[in-house]
Structure 1
Amino acid sequence: MLKWLVAAIIIIPTVELWGIIKMGHVIGGWPTFGLILLTGFLGAKLASSEGRKAFADVQVQLQSGKPPGHAMLNGICVLIGGLLLLLPGFFSDIIGITMLLPITRPFYRLLLFKWLEKKVRNGSFVIRRR
């Protein structure tokens, strides 16, 4: 796990910086800076509205007595997508936006579900009550 974390800490910023530099060469420095700010602000707005919808869906599921699994996974995808949009860079923004859009979110929700299912099955993810 630690080697994956170290690799991510080194590789992800390097790729993002490379993308920013390449974009700066194509459209110029100030437009690149403006685009980074624009994706951050628009992403925050989209994350806020989608987060409210996800929270409302969880509440509706709980009030109707149903388990809110699907709605919770939506909320986790929205949270991760919003966090990715806060990072400076275009690659993280692309992934973040696709996690926030209701059309593409099911793909990430399925990946998250399969990852959680694998962790629960092999016993490395346990939910405990206090």
Structure 2
Amino acid sequence: MSQPLKIAVILAFAALPLLEIGLLIRLGQVIGIWWLAVIVIGTAALGTYVIRQVGISVFERALSRLNTEREGFPPLFDGFLQVLAGLLLIFPGVISDLLGLLLLVPQLRRLVIQTGLLKLVTLFHYQAEVSRETFRAGTAETPAGDDGIVIEGEYERVSERPLHQSKAVQPRRSRS
């Protein structure tokens, strides 16, 4: 990621809470504070309901399918997006509520999974290739007949230490 893009992402994340607060104040002026409170509490309740319904069950199902059928990634990401939607609904704010509601639509989740999963797989594939090349470069330098690294040293068994000073362990033999 380039430096200007990193700065833009950081500024966007810093500006998001300020934008959320500004939109909540403006919406409160337009529809009234009581209706705004009902909306905030209602979306938080909806988010809690979504997280409780989806919760761990989707992840357990996806992991079991992953172990048996090797097709567990889409359900896993679908469950993750549903939990993310619930979290976004819990946070007070117009933008986060809108994003949370959009993530509750199954067709939009499928679209996010298809486009995002493809990018994620290509990123991991690239990382794996780089790691594999680094591994090959590191192993190519070692000679074929070498048995590996040998570390020499001395050791003493703790169980052979005397419990009392009067009892002694036989002295170590010196190497000749």
TM-score bracket, shorter-length normalisation: 0.7 to 0.9
Instruction: Give structure 2 stretches of 5+ with no counterpart.
Output: 131-176
1:71 aligns with 2:47: no
Report 1:1-130 matches (<5 A): 3-52=7-56, 54-62=58-66, 64-123=68-127
Question: Structure 1 unaligned runs (5+)?
Answer: none
- CA separation in 2, counterparts of 1:120 and 1:64? 22
Amino acid at match of 2:73: G
How far, CA to CA, are the matches of 1:4 and 1:48 in structure 2?
35
CA distance in 2, matches of 1:101, 1:56: 22
Aligned to 2:166: none
Aligned length: 126
C-alpha displacement of 1:91: 1.2
TM-score by length of 1: 0.76
Contact 2:84–2:100 (Cα < 8 Å) also in 1 = yes
How far off its partner does 1:58 sit?
A: 0.8
Q: Which has the higher contact order (CA 8 A, sep 6+)?
A: 1
Contact (CA 8 Å) 1:50, 1:100: kept in 2 or not?
no
Percent identical pairs in the alignment equals 25
Letter matched to residue 101 of structure 1 = V
What CA deviation, in whole Å up to 9, does each residue of 1:32-91 have, x standing for no partner? Answer: 122111101112102321335523531451463334111111122122212212221011
CA RMSD of the aligned region, Å? 2.7
State how far apart, in whole Å, the 2-side matches of 1:53 and 1:102 are.
17
**Deviations, residues 85-105 of structure 1 (Å, cap 9, x unaligned):** 222101111111221332432
Contact 2:55 2:83 in 1 (8 A): yes
SS at match of 1:104: helix
